[in-house]
Structure formats: structure tokens, C-alpha cells
Amino acid sequence: MTTLVNSADSHVVEPLDLWVRRLPEHLRPRAPRIEEADGRWLFLVEGSPPRKMGASADADKENSATGFRAGGSDPDVRAQDLDEDGVWGEVLYPTIALFGFVIPDPELRWATARAYNDWLAETFTAASKRFAGAALIPVQEPDEAVREIERVARLGLRSVMLPMQAPADAPYNSDRYDPVWAAAQAHGMPVSFHVGTGANPVTERGGGGAVINYVEVGLGAQRTLAYLAASGVLERFPDLHVVMVECGAGWLSWLLERMDEAFEEHEQWVKPKLAEPPSFYVRRQGHVTFGNDAAGVVNRDFTGVEPLLWASDYPHPEGTWPHTQETLDRIFATVDPDERRRITYETTARLYGLEAPVGAST
Ligand code: MN
């Protein structure tokens, strides 16, 4: 029998002309857009290197340039794919807009973010309660970030996505972000940090680069979670939930021990003096998403079950679709069914409002 699950990390695939159509006219020539070069489609976002798209320029630009399944952009196709795979709800992250955080010009950056948030609300949010959209919220201008959080809350988006890598001049222990944490907390919107955002994820091009870069971007989750726990953000905003997305889970136990060791053994240098060790706040308010991470599941007695959120990463090829149920049966073969249900469904349902109707099955 199929057991309903929620995915805490899935992706939409934006129409390639989304920003060319939606940005204010004077910004359209600089919009994130697709262009052909040397027989391949390139996606151009100011501030990021050009990105090769999945297909060659011979392919139909509108339908297959990204190489992803149609459910990436069509809510109805997507719902059918979820039904086939036993997935009830999903937290939706972008694909192209992941690079929007690093657009240097504030006017273009905010116009890009607002256009994405509008499109997400008009398409997936409007189509079904099964889709919990994460809004793109740049953080370089905290006052503007608060205004956009208020706006997307009215549009029905259910999470706030900030860049994993904070701006260089303002790390996440800066109190300039307090209004951002307060706004997210007030609306009950989890704040998420997706792997590879806020900085160019390709830093090594020499030997081992593909593997090294994959490791490097994952380390960002450890840094961000340490900043939020050790600096007292989680203590000062006790109803705020923070989610490290697509970074796996096996590292979490190491981070908890490492932070607490510093907090206790280097006590004379520690400030602020939190009421509890840093691990306490992560176990209460921190979460990590994973798809197929045996170490993270094995370590649940140490980390607690609450931080663990399973995710499919649909429609990305490394995700579990259409084999989600087999994958879960394998990962959770020795796990208590109640714990499995919390990790694969209940915690995500509570954080993001992804409760399936009574009696729902797919
Ligand atoms: Mn993802």
C-alpha cells in the first residue's frame, strides 16, 4: 500500500520568457533570458556566468530546452506525476530564479524576484493547496525584504527563501536581519536556504571539480545553521523555523556536537550566552532536507526526528521520481513507522500547511 508523503524540496521550471514578459519595460533588455550561442541555448542572469541549458539549440526552444519533465511548469501534469508516485504535497523552489539573489543591481534584482513570486502564486498556488510555494526574497535591502514578505503572504505563498550564502558585508548574525526574521515568524512562514544560492556554486574547475563543488555548496548549510543558532537568532525568534534545503542530513550530528563543544569548553569566549546550548535551538527550530541519505536517518536518535525532512527533488534527474515509494521502503526499512511518517509527511505538513484531506490517497 502506498503511504502518502510530502516533499520538502521540489522544483518548478520557470517559462524561459517569464522575465522578458513580466519585467517593467525599461528592464526587459536586461531580463534573465535565454539566448543561443555556439549551437547551444544559454541562460543569462546578470551577475552569474552564462548557464548551458539541457538540450541543443536544434531542440524546440519552448518545450525542451530545459530537459525537465513538463510537470515542472504545468500544475495539472505535475499533480498526475505526484499521484503516480504517492506524493501528496510539495514545497516548491525555483530553477532559474535560484540565481536571482546575486543580480548586482537592486532594481533588477527586486523586479526579478517579484515577477517570479507573482508567477508562482498565479500558477501553482492558484492551482492546488498541494503546492506550498517558497518566495524568492533577496536580503541585501532588509526593509524591502520585509515589504515583499508581507506581499507574498497575501498572495498565498507559504515560505520565505533567502540565499544560503549571506551578502559578504552582512553575515546572518547581523541584527539588520531582525525585521526579516520577525516578519517570517509573524506569518508562520519557514525560512529556507537552498543549496547553491547567494554565490556562484562553481568555484573549482581543476581535478575533482564536479565532486569538490558538490561538497563545497553543501558546507554552506553548516555555516548558515551555525550562524543562526550560535548568534541567538533562533533563541530570540522562538517560533521561527529554518530549513537547509538539498544539503543532505548526515552532517547534522557533527554540527550539533561541534557547536556544543565550543559553547561549553570555550565558555569564556562565548557571546551571546544562550540559555541553552546551540544544539537545543537546532533540534527545536532547525530542519534539513534529504532525498536518499542513510547516515542522516541512522543518526536520528542523536539529532532528533524533528529536524529531518524527506524530499523528492522532483523533477530533477537525481530526485526519486517515479521511484519514491521503493526508495522510501529501502531507506526506512528498519525505522519505526511513526518516525518514518514524521520525517516523510507530518513535520512538512505542519510547517507548510500540507495536510492531506482525511481519506486522501493517490
Ligand atoms: Mn532542491
55 grid coordinates: 538540450
Instruction: Please tell me the distance between residue 350's alpha carbon and the centre of ligand 1 in angstroms.
Output: 20
CA 101 – ligand 1 centroid, Å: 16
CA of 265 to the centre of ligand 1 (A): 36
Who's near 1: CB < 8 A, 6+ residues apart? none
250 CA distance to ligand 1 middle (Å):
17
Q: Which residue has the higher pLDDT, 116 or 56?
A: 116
Nearest in space to 308 (alpha carbons), one of 353, 259, 243, 218: 243
Q: What distance in Å separates the CA atoms of residue 65 and residue 127, rounded to the nearest whole number?
A: 25
pLDDT tens profile 185-235: 999 999 999 999 999 888 899 999 999 999 999 999 999 999 999 999 999
Angle, alpha carbons 113-71-24 (nearest 5°) = 25
Residue found under cell 526579478: 112
Distance, CA of 181 to CA of 316 (rounded, Å): 30
Distance CA 120, CA 159 (A): 12
Centre of ligand 1 from the C-alpha of residue 68, in Å:
14
Residue 320: CB atoms within 10 A of its CB come to 23
Is residue 361 pLDDT above 80, yes or no?
no
| Centre of ligand 1 from the C-alpha of residue 246, in Å | 5
CA distance readout (Å), 320 to 83, 189, 237, 310, 362: 14, 26, 34, 11, 17
- Band the pLDDT of 62: cuts 50, 70, 90: very low
* pLDDT tens readout for residues 163-184: 999 999 999 999 999 999 999 9
Ligand 1: distance of its center to the CA of 275 in Å? Answer: 34
Q: How far is the CA of 9 from the centre of ligand 1 (A)?
A: 5
Ligand 1 centre to CA of 311 (Å) is: 8
Distance 318 CA to ligand 1 centre (A): 10
Q: What is the arrangement of strands in the sheet containing 87-93, beginning at the earlier edge strand?
A: 5-11, 87-93, 131-136, 159-163, 191-194, 242-245, 286-290, 308-310
Cα–ligand 1 centroid distance for 315 (angstroms): 9
| Rounded CA separation 286/249 (Å) | 12
Model pTM score = 0.94
Higher pLDDT, 38 or 195: 195
Q: How far is the CA of 156 from the centre of ligand 1 (A)?
A: 21
Q: Quick check: 61 pLDDT over 70?
A: no
Q: pLDDT band at 66, cuts 50/70/90? A: low
Is the pLDDT reported for residue 126 higher than 80? yes
Q: Could you tell me the distance, in angstroms and rounded to a whole number, from the CA of residue 267 to the centre of ligand 1?
A: 37
What does the pLDDT look like over 80-125, one tens digit per residue? Answer: 999 999 999 999 999 999 999 999 999 999 999 999 999 999 999 9
Over residues 247-294, the pLDDT tens digits come to 999 999 999 999 999 999 999 999 999 999 999 999 999 999 999 888
Task: Output the DSSP codes for 151-189.
Answer: HHHHHT--EEEEESS--TTS-TT-GGGHHHHHHHHHTTP
Using the mean position of ligand 1's atoms as its centre, give its distance from the Cα of residue 8 in Å: 9
Q: Which of 308, 278, 208 is nearest to 8 (CA)?
A: 308
CA 10 to ligand 1 center in whole angstroms: 6
The rounded Å distance from CA 290 to ligand 1 centre is 9
How much distance in Å is there from the Cα of 91 to the middle of ligand 1?
10
Measured in Å, residue 225 CA sits from the centre of ligand 1 at: 17
How far is ligand 1, taken at its centre, from the CA of residue 11, in Å?
A: 6
266 CA to centre of ligand 1 in angstroms: 36
Distance 274 CA to ligand 1 centre (A): 32
The Å distance, Cα 220 to ligand 1 centre, comes to 14
Cα(231) to centroid of ligand 1, in Å? 27
Percentage of the chain with pLDDT > 90? 81
Distance (angstroms) between ligand 1 centre and the Cα of 293 equals 14
Amino acid 321: pLDDT: 87
How many Å lie between the centroid of ligand 1 and the Cα of residue 71? 15
Distance from residue 93's CA to the centre of ligand 1 (Å) = 7
